[in-house]
Amino acid sequence: MFLLFFLLWLLLSGGVSLHACLWGLAVSALLTWFCRRVLGYDWRIFCGHPARIWALIRYFAHLVAEMLKAGLMVMKIIYVHPKKITPKLVWFRTPLQTDRHKAMLSDSITLTAGTITVRSQDGRLLVHALDAPLAEGIEDTAFQQQLEKMEGTQWRR
């Protein structure tokens, strides 16, 4: 966790200098201490088994690809057929059990252009889609299938 904070500090500082590195070390140490002691975070919760890391990498790669595809679809909807937009609200039940995976599904839907998760209640999600075709098949997305596999494995927390 410390290394990630430090790398983020260097990325955001805009350059590598002795001054930036010293401040980055201090701030990273403070944030790491805060996350572990006060918030109770443990690095093993996020990483754990190597297969879990690989599953997360595949999931986020798929998420980026879907974000790009959805962005292109939304651009087409807006620029080619702006008068034919038919927004739609869709309720669907998710079989995911853990709150962490439900939140990942909800955030993944929101991150893809043209859809937003409006509400999560009793294992159901309410999704607003910019256009009806964007809402098709949202009940059984690839995101949900991947999260179900990740949730059903024995190396989960």
Domain holding 18, by residue range, is: 2-41
Same domain, 31 and 71: no
Same domain assignment for residues 31 and 96? no
Task: Describe the crossing of helices 142-152 and 99-111 by its angle, rounded to 10 degrees.
Answer: 160
Tell me what pLDDT residue 157 has.
44
Determine the pLDDT at residue 46.
53
Scored b (16 or more CB within 10 A) or e, 74-101 reads beebeeeeeeeeeebebeeebebeeeeb
Q: What does the pLDDT profile of the chain (157 residues) look like in tens digits?
A: 788 888 888 888 887 889 888 988 999 999 888 888 887 776 655 556 677 778 888 888 999 999 999 999 899 988 988 888 889 999 999 988 888 889 889 999 999 888 999 998 888 999 999 988 888 888 888 888 888 888 876 444 4
- Tally the domains of the chain: 2
Provide the CA 29 distance to its chain's centre, in angstroms.
Answer: 26
Q: Give the pLDDT of residue 91.
A: 92
Quick one: pLDDT at residue 57?
84
111 and 146 inside one domain:
yes
User: Domain check: are 15 and 52 in the same one?
Assistant: no
**Do 34 and 77 belong together in one domain?**
no
Quote the pLDDT of residue 13.
Answer: 85
End-to-end CA distance of the chain: 18
Q: Are residues 30 and 54 in the same domain?
A: no
pLDDT at 151: 80
Q: What is the pTM of this model?
A: 0.67
Residue 157 inside a domain? The answer is: no
For residues 91 and 36, state if they share a domain. no
9 and 83 share one domain: no
Write down the pLDDT at residue 154.
45
